[in-house]
């Protein structure tokens, strides 16, 4: 996709282990010469993989991309729990129960996690409790009273069995904590469990194979070739074409009579994404307008 300056872009980036998601945004702002950049779906510093950056007016689509299903490749250890549910925390209740595990018992425990379920977020998470982040409460020596949230695991597959360490691939709903999957797996198996490495491999239809490195953000040709048109990053929405007059009215926030599939739709004008609207089947109302003129 050819770009021009700080255009309206969606750029898939391969975040390395170490920097925060905010660090990646700061690097991209310097490399692309614009401050109008947002990301979709935070990755912890110890995790690597796909981070989608929205540049320019594409930042208005962040909320729609953030809610897309995610894919991960995870490494877990089954010889202890940790206070953070990952390798950055101190070991708790370390034991040798993992020695009795078989590949079949681990696969069965993973399979039992498929589908919709209630998941308690990690104590060291960004969940808010009465205005405070859970990790702030935990760092103060208190135990955050986190309520379970509904998540969905669509696919989970063991890919390496080398006890006490395993690796698995997972496809899940947005908001699912992979750290909690490792922890809950340890509970099911009676061994302990925590996440020791994590790599995000997909967000919706965008794959890690499409991503560029942080260093490549300064290479305009590489950015151009990797950039995804906003409309192509949201294939889950139906597309609705509008004419010049309809586009003008939608830009002013007006509802127009227009047949379209019920629900949220992509509004297209002259082959470009005008914005996102809501249709009741016979009328179309704008929700997010990318191009105001």
**Integer Cα distance of 266 and 274 in angstroms:** 8
- Kind and range of the H or E element at 186? helix 178-189
CB neighbours of 48 closer than 8 A, spacing ≥ 6? 14, 15, 16, 17, 198, 199, 200
**Distance of CA 90 to CAs 86, 98, 137, 224, Å?**
9, 19, 17, 43
Nearest to 53 by CA among 1, 12, 21, 8: 12
Rounded to whole angstroms, how far apart are CA atoms 18 and 265? 38
Strands 128-129 and 132-133: antiparallel
Would you call 44 a catalytic residue per the annotation? yes
Q: At what angle do helices 103-111 and 178-189 cross, to 10 degrees?
A: 120
Nearest to 8 by CA among 245, 265, 289, 277: 289
Q: Which two tokens stand for residue 14?
A: 């391969």
Rounded CA gap, 116 and 153, in Å? 6
Task: Catalytic residue, from 4, 8, 14, 44: name it.
Answer: 44
| CA dihedral of residues 21, 171, 123, 85 (deg, nearest 10) | -90
How crowded is residue 54: how many other Cβ atoms within 10 Å of its Cβ?
25
Q: Quick one: DSSP state of residue 228?
A: B
**Is 152:58 a contact under the CB 8 Å cutoff?**
no
Which of the residues are catalytic?
44
């Amino acid at each position: 996709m050819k770009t021009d300056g700080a255009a309206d872009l969606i750029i898939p980036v391969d975040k390395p282990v170490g920097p925060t998601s905010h660090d990646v945004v700061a690097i991209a702002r310097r490399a692309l010469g614009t401050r109008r950049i947002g990301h979709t779906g935070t990755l912890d510093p110890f995790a690597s993989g796909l981070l989608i950056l929205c540049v320019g007016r594409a930042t208005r689509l962040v909320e729609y991309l953030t809610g897309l299903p995610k894919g991960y490749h995870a490494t877990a250890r089954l010889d202890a729990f940790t206070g953070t549910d990952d390798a950055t925390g101190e070991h708790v209740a370390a034991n040798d129960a993992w020695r009795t595990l078989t590949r079949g018992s681990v696969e069965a425990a993973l399979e039992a996690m498929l589908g919709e379920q209630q998941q308690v977020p990690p104590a060291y998470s960004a969940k808010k409790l009465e205005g405070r982040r859970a990790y702030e409460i935990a760092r103060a020596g208190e135990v955050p009273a986190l309520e379970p949230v509904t998540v969905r695991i669509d696919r989970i597959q063991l890919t390496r069995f080398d006890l006490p360490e395993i690796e698995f691939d997972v496809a899940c709903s947005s908001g699912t904590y992979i750290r909690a999957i490792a922890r809950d797996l340890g509970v099911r198996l009676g061994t302990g469990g925590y996440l020791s490495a994590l790599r995000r491999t997909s967000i919706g239809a965008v794959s890690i194979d499409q991503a560029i490195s942080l260093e490549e953000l300064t290479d305009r040709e590489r950015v151009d070739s990797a950039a995804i048109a906003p409309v192509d990053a949201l294939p889950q929405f139906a597309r609705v074409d509008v004419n010049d007059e309809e586009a003008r009215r939608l830009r002013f926030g007006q509802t127009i009579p227009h047949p379209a599939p019920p629900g949220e739709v992509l509004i297209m004008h002259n082959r470009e994404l005008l914005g996102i609207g809501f249709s009741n089947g016979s009328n179309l109302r704008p929700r997010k307008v990318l191009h105001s003129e």
